[in-house]
Structure 1
Amino acid sequence: MKIYEFKNEDAYRFAREQRAEAKVSGDELQFTYCPYCNGGKGGKDKKTFSINLETGQYKCLRASCGVQGNFITLSKDFDFSLGNEADRYFSSKTQFRTFKKKEIQTKDHAVELMAARGISEGVVRKYKLTIADNYGKDIIAFPFFDEKGNLKFIKYRNMNFQKGIHKNKEWCEERCMPILFGMEQCNDKFDRLIITEGQIDSLSLAEAGIENAVSVPTGAMGFTWVPHVWEWFSKFKELIVFGDYEKGEISLLEELKKRFPGTVKSVRKEDYKEEKDANDILRKYGREALRSAIENALAVPVQRVKELADVQAVDIYSMPKIKTGMNQIDRLLGGMYYGQVILLTGKRGDGKSTFMGQIAVAALEQGKNIFAYSGELQDYFFKRWLDMQAAGSRNIIQNERDEETHYLLTNSTIEKINDWYRGRAFIYDNNIVEDDELEDLLKTIEKAVMQYGINLVCIDNLMTALDVSMKEDLYRAQSKFVNKLCKLAKKQGIVVILVAHPRKNSFGSDENDSVSGTADITNRVDVVMTYKRGKDIPEDERELLISKNRLTGRLTKAGIRLYYDKVSKRIADNQKDFDMAYGWEKSGDGFLEYNEKSPFEEVEDE
């Protein structure tokens, strides 16, 4: 496995972080000035340096410079991050420069330049700032000493930078070990560390009398310093991030949340007082504003964790739900609550799909919107089955043909049922299914939920849903699908009924263990129901077992007895409900409409 693979975006990012002028020329990113030689004396030579956007190789055409190499070398020379793993791997192989120990003399002009930024002479001398005479009189040198007082890194800043006139605002010595600025000046209590993006910002905190203020060497995007200071860095109990506040975000914060092992806090956005950084706050509002900002810093919340006291107390029985329309089931479950995934299992041919259809019709009667996925039935067959359940036996015509009984609906009945469905009942079009990603079905469901206000999703069944794409082993694909389905149900606040077949040759007494696939499936869902046609019960009767009920905990001690009407396909726990009139045949005032049946308007059952 490659530790690092070059991407052309890395070249663009390098140019941005170096604040370099660059443009694409063919397959190369051409820089106005070479970051190594800066165009030679006086910056006369331009456009001599480029990075190949396909390979990451770089070179400078100036004979006296002539640098060339790959992007990994470039990242080392300029402390440019290639990503966490690559940074850790390559940093251990870098040969850094060593500096002779000598006393750095703070020059008076450095004191003058920093005074303009609100930094006193005492702080300037404590941090050993000086002037880099070889670069110019207004160039401040920031020496980075480790906790033992060893000079490891040197950074320069043009305090009178003018865009278009000067090439660089900041730069650093080549092959220096990146560490944090201000480490030497920190105490050894290791209680709290404050980290800023810029050196002047950490000096501003020191000016306010705040200890243990450090800053990163190469801006918000460079984290190659972490491996070199890890042992020291990780000793602190608490880290306060005081990065630059721009576009509603605090720089450094997201990455340091991942990197720091202790408690991470950040300065509150209101304590920036609409300023960008610590130095701006110091100059406009003074030292006390910085001290208050540090003391008011708040711990960054752990993702997906919240105070238990902030959780709203609710009466679960008053939560939004969909009734199944079967009183015994609704009393036991309390209804099907929004956010639940209900696993419906049972042997092939026992009528799981019919039972699910009955619940869908009940949901429509309650004014809910439904979405159905049927991987085994053609859409017209699924609809016809639902039509029969919506119609009821008194609206169904029996026709004897070829010594068999056929059950029919009139065209006028179908039209009225269609009007009842319109804008509220939807089905996945499996006529155009291709071998796309597994998530496509889930994405389609989520879009339908958002666009059409779906309340109930019926998926028949788990195996055919997985057949959209099988790029993994069966059990892993099942677990992954059900996990995403549960997240979708909770996120969108819907009820999902998922049909799954039982295992072959399942002889266990635990209904949950009999579901085909891994135990992970039944562990993830909220309710597990088994629909049965028992051997010892009459042909027109069924049995429902509830073996898992996460919300109320109520389970069936014995199966709930249900009844099945062969003509209408209706299922009920009371045979009187076979004659129930649904909304499609009621007038606006709730009365049944007179419907004359005509054998000349029949649609035959195939």
Structure 2
Amino acid sequence: KRFWQVKGAEKVFYGLDDVTGSDEIIIVEGEIDKLSLYEAGMTNAISVPDGAPPQRNDNSPLPPEQDKKYSYMWNCRDVLDSAIRVVLATDNDNPGQALGEELSRRLGRERCYRVRWPTTLEDTIVLDDTAEEGGQGDDPGDGAEAADVNRFFRKDANEVLVKDGAAMLQAYIDSAEEYPIRGLFRLTDFWGDVYNYYNLHSGNEGGVSTGWRELDQYYKIVPGELSIVTGVPNSGKSEWLDALCINLAEQHNWTFAMCSMEKGVKDHARQLLEKHVRKKRMGWEEVVEGMSWIDERIFLIRYEDDELPNIDWVLNLARAAVLRHGIRGLVIDPYNELDHQRPSSMTETEYVSQMLTKIKRFAQHHECHVWFVAHPRQLREWKGEPPNLYDISGSAHFINKADCGIVIHRNRDEEKGPMNESRVLVRKIRNKAAGNIGESVLHYDRVTGRFYEPKSSPAESTQSTDFMSAVEKFNAAF
């Protein structure tokens, strides 16, 4: 089999013209599998252009440079959006299963169906008539059990066609399993999740590390959850979130969409750059290399018009970022910079409830963690103590609907500790496997913008002789 692509051409699905306007699409992992389905009479099939990306041992997201292998999904989004039913018939191996999971996550699991190719005799399908030559229906009899292990294994659509025939291939496609219908489940539908929860098989049941060991005792990041972050003005909420995102990108290859409406693009880029490079003074090569790293991992949601954006606009762009870039995290900072127009018959409490429901559905549907910054109302006779989650302006739903509630509080009294001391107060944790109520102390390094635990040291800040020329080039470029 010989297939090739024109160098530099836009990546699209192989066989895209065959499914334009189709309500049902079958997606396979190789061109020969698409042709095998065509041979069996199923013309509504397409193949991903480059096969499955390499499997990662820790099940973490692909690095951004490898994530570009999914660009064909964005390029073909009009055809994908029109499909009502998508059958995923990827290969029967670890990379194929990982590919199927990522495709279903980006397409939306409610319209995806999964084909399970046989591994053992129990997995095989027996047709009503006599099994075709190639003999999945044959009784293996006694003896040579080790040899029989591979007798019933089928890797992909082409192998089923060659060994079992077109009728058997059609039967496997017709028996594709549906993902759970949203809102209607059996408990057994979640057996795999429950098993993984107790055995911590997929790696994220207990959350991923924040990058701060002491804080991990109370707060870990779980995909699909909503964290509400609050604190009085100038407490460092945005700085802490930027530092957290850099940690997750460095340690877990996460990518993010950030809707930070109180920061200019240039200042925000500079702050992210300094946190990653761990320097304020850096040479031009460090600036270029650092900005290239950030550009592949952090994507900005910006509203360029005079009007304020609303939450639907933000979430629509976040969905596009999931499809195009495979983001794992979304930052919305802050609540009061959004447009909150509502019908006159709707109370603010009702509006906040509906808004948070939309955000939680986005998080759960796309397995993204969302951080939503909300300021507290003006505190009367404030004496420097940290606010609580019920102090957030607008509604008690901010605490009621959150999966995690975080208060960031900076020390303002020299008699109570170092002036660069910040407290991360974990005030709510719904998922007990990911943390507990408690607090952690971090120190803020004003040079790099990073936070570090008191027992460790901040990143060293070095000064480069060509720093000024680097800054001039940086300003010209951005």
Q: Place the TM-score, normalised by the shorter chain, in its bin.
A: 0.5 to 0.7
| 537, 545, 570: which one aligns with 2:450 | 570
User: What percent of counterpart residues are identical?
Assistant: 20
Does 1:329 find its partner at 2:215?
yes
Q: How big is the shift at 1:501?
A: 0.7
Q: RMSD across aligned C-alpha pairs, in angstroms? A: 3.3
TM-score, normalization by structure 2? 0.53
Q: Which amino acid aligns with 2:405?
A: V
Does 1:378 find its partner at 2:264?
yes
Correspondence for 1:485: 359
Correspondence for 1:342: 227
1:423–1:601 Cα change, 3 Å: same
1:311–1:438 Cα change, 3 Å: closer
Q: How big is the shift at 1:413?
A: 1.9
Q: Deviations over 1:479-534 (max 9, x none)?
A: 32221111100000011111111122267998221222211121111100101013
**1:414 aligns to what SS in structure 2?**
helix
The answer to whether the 8 A contact 1:563-1:575 is kept is no
**2:259 aligns to what SS in structure 1?**
strand
Correspondence for 1:396: 280
Q: Which runs of 5+ in 2 are unaligned?
A: 1-83, 86-127, 129-179
**1:454 aligns to what SS in structure 2?**
coil
Correspondence for 2:254: 368
- Pairing 1:55-134 to 2, within 5 Å after superposition: none
Q: How far, CA to CA, are the matches of 1:463 and 1:371 in structure 2?
A: 19
1:412–1:530 Cα change, 3 Å: same
Structure whose residues are more often helix by fraction: 2
Does 1:462 find its partner at 2:348?
no
Does 1:548 find its partner at 2:428?
yes
Correspondence for 2:371: 497
Q: How far, CA to CA, are the matches of 2:310 and 2:396 in structure 1?
A: 24
Q: Deviations over 1:423-450 (max 9, x none)?
A: 3210012224645664111111111112
Q: How big is the shift at 1:331?
A: 2.4
Q: How far, CA to CA, are the matches of 1:497 and 1:436 in structure 2?
A: 17
| 568, 576, 579: which one aligns with 2:459 | 579
Q: How far, CA to CA, are the matches of 2:237 and 2:352 in structure 1?
A: 19
Q: Which amino acid aligns with 2:446?
A: K
Q: How far, CA to CA, are the matches of 1:391 and 1:385 in structure 2?
A: 10
Does 1:416 find its partner at 2:289?
yes
Q: How far, CA to CA, are the matches of 1:541 and 1:375 in structure 2?
A: 26
Q: How big is the shift at 1:575?
A: 5.8
**1:337 aligns to what SS in structure 2?**
coil
Q: Deviations over 1:175-207 (max 9, x none)?
A: xxxxxxxxxxxxxxxxxxxxxxxxxxxxxxxxx
Q: How far, CA to CA, are the matches of 2:464 and 2:189 in structure 1?
A: 59
Q: How far, CA to CA, are the matches of 2:339 and 2:468 in structure 1?
A: 43
The answer to whether the 8 A contact 1:466-1:477 is kept is no
Q: How far, CA to CA, are the matches of 1:601 and 1:488 in structure 2?
A: 43
Q: How far, CA to CA, are the matches of 2:467 and 2:296 in structure 1?
A: 29
User: How many residues were matched structurally?
Assistant: 281
**1:415 aligns to what SS in structure 2?**
helix
Q: Which amino acid aligns with 2:267?
A: F
Q: How far, CA to CA, are the matches of 1:464 and 1:436 in structure 2?
A: 8
Q: How far, CA to CA, are the matches of 2:186 and 2:342 in structure 1?
A: 40
Q: How far, CA to CA, are the matches of 1:347 and 1:551 in structure 2?
A: 26
The answer to whether the 8 A contact 2:403-2:429 is kept is yes
Q: How big is the shift at 1:363?
A: 1.7
Correspondence for 1:587: none
Correspondence for 1:319: 204
Q: How far, CA to CA, are the matches of 1:302 and 1:362 in structure 2?
A: 35
Is 344-353 or 547-556 further displaced after alignment? 547-556
Structure whose residues are more often strand by fraction: 1
Correspondence for 1:452: 325
Q: How far, CA to CA, are the matches of 1:351 and 1:302 in structure 2?
A: 41
Correspondence for 1:176: none
Q: How big is the shift at 1:319?
A: 2.2
Q: How far, CA to CA, are the matches of 1:302 and 1:411 in structure 2?
A: 52
**1:371 aligns to what SS in structure 2?**
strand
- Pairing 1:140-179 to 2, within 5 Å after superposition: none
The answer to whether the 8 A contact 1:363-1:370 is kept is no
The answer to whether the 8 A contact 2:342-2:351 is kept is yes
The answer to whether the 8 A contact 2:428-2:437 is kept is no
Correspondence for 2:471: 603
Correspondence for 2:240: 355
1:551–1:580 Cα change, 3 Å: farther
Q: Which amino acid aligns with 1:443?
A: N
The answer to whether the 8 A contact 1:342-1:498 is kept is yes
Correspondence for 1:560: 440
TM-score, normalization by structure 1? 0.42
- Pairing 1:169-208 to 2, within 5 Å after superposition: none
Q: Which amino acid aligns with 2:214?
A: Q
Q: How far, CA to CA, are the matches of 1:387 and 1:436 in structure 2?
A: 26
Q: Which runs of 5+ in 1 are unaligned?
A: 1-246, 249-272, 274-300, 398-408, 582-593
- Pairing 1:157-306 to 2, within 5 Å after superposition: 304-306=183-185
Correspondence for 1:537: 417
Q: How far, CA to CA, are the matches of 1:575 and 1:330 in structure 2?
A: 15
**Higher RCO, 1 vs 2 (CA within 8 Å, ≥6 residues apart):** 2
Q: How far, CA to CA, are the matches of 2:404 and 2:331 in structure 1?
A: 14
| 374, 389, 402: which one aligns with 1:525 | 402
**1:373 aligns to what SS in structure 2?**
strand
The answer to whether the 8 A contact 2:309-2:339 is kept is no
Report the structure number with the largest CA radius of gyration: 1
| 290, 293, 298: which one aligns with 1:425 | 298
Q: Which amino acid aligns with 2:204?
A: M
Q: How far, CA to CA, are the matches of 2:342 and 2:302 in structure 1?
A: 19
Q: Deviations over 1:360-387 (max 9, x none)?
A: 1112202111110011111112111111
**2:218 aligns to what SS in structure 1?**
helix
